[in-house]
Amino acid sequence: MKVVTTPAEIQMLAGQYRSKGLIIGLVPTMGWFHEGHLSLMREARKKADKVIVSLFVNPMQFGPAEDLDSYPYDLDRDCKLAEEIGVDLLYAPAKGVMYPQKFATTVHVEGLTSGLCGESRPGHFDGVTTVVAKLFNQTLPHFAVFGEKDFQQLAVIRQMVADLDFPIEIIGHPIVREDSGLAMSSRNTYLKDNEMAAAHSLSKGIELAKTLVKNNRGISVQQLIERVSEDVTSHRKCDIDYIEIVDKNTLDPCKQVSVDSVLVMAVKINGRIRLIDNSILIAC
């Protein structure tokens, strides 16, 4: 596996692949790989001739009081893991090459970015869409694979790709969970033993909601949100950022539960660790 650190080099290599007619699959990441990332890479490996994984802890998508400085990072560890999957190129640019001093452009998607994580993390999605647009132009992929855990992010990226005519297929990949149900996340590494029960309340809340819907198809959205919220806040270390039931395509709040409804949630554990999770409520 080759490690590349500059836009010029990755663009040149990607251009060479393309001129040979090879299919390029991109997996954009911020590193500290876990099974969730590795499953995205395996998915890309199945479909691509050349798999590029980008690893860049993007400062533009972190707010001033967020965890940019403590975000876990270990390039050697991640290189080994990516190599084992058969990744061809690991692209790990430095902050200065991604955002040189005169950098002055922001990609902004209206609408989809305003609620949920967009409300509690102002500017976050502008950081995501700007860096993803840059990564697309640098790595020239035919397709890119994103995890469905970041449900809103995936919807925002699909919108950007459609609006800006990127000739790139966006593939969403299902959430990978620990045996306990906890959705895998690089931020799980911050959790202490005595915070695990609180962290599990997200997936438990999702299971509760699914059971309630299964047993009572007529249950209202409000009742569901109340029951899940009660369950989550029964852990004193949990502060709900949001728990909502939204349409899977528009992210608009659902008036009633249907096959298109997704429960989305963000919960702060012990005031320090913000975790997100989501699930479709009715399996097709």
Whether the Cβ atoms of residue 275 and residue 239 lie closer than 8 Å to each other: no
The yes or no reply on residue 131 touching ligand PAF (CB under 6 A) is: yes
The yes or no reply on residue 117 touching ligand PAF (CB under 6 A) is: no
The yes or no reply on residue 107 touching ligand PAF (CB under 6 A) is: no
The yes or no reply on residue 232 touching ligand PAF (CB under 6 A) is: no
Closest distance to ligand PAF from the beta carbon of 157 (Å): 7
Q: How many residues of this chain interact with ligand PAF, rule: CB under 6 A?
A: 10
Closest distance to ligand PAF from the beta carbon of 84 (Å): 20
Contacts of 149 (CB under 8 A, 6+ apart): 36, 175, 183, 184, 185, 276, 277, 278
Pick from 24, 98, 132, 133: which binds ligand PAF (CB under 6 A)? 132
Where does this chain touch ligand PAF (CB under 6 A) — which range of 26-34, 223-231, 248-256, 262-270? 26-34
Q: Is 108 a catalytic residue?
A: no
Q: Please tell me which residue in 34, 37, 142, 173 is annotated as part of the active site.
A: 37
**Closer Cβ to ligand PAF, 134 or 237, answer by number:** 134
Residue indicated by tokens 């202490």: 192
Pick from 10, 25, 26, 28: which binds ligand PAF (CB under 6 A)? 28
The yes or no reply on residue 58 touching ligand PAF (CB under 6 A) is: yes
- The residues that are catalytic are 37
Residues that bind ligand PAF in the complex, under the rule CB under 6 A? 28-30, 58, 61, 128, 131-132, 150, 153
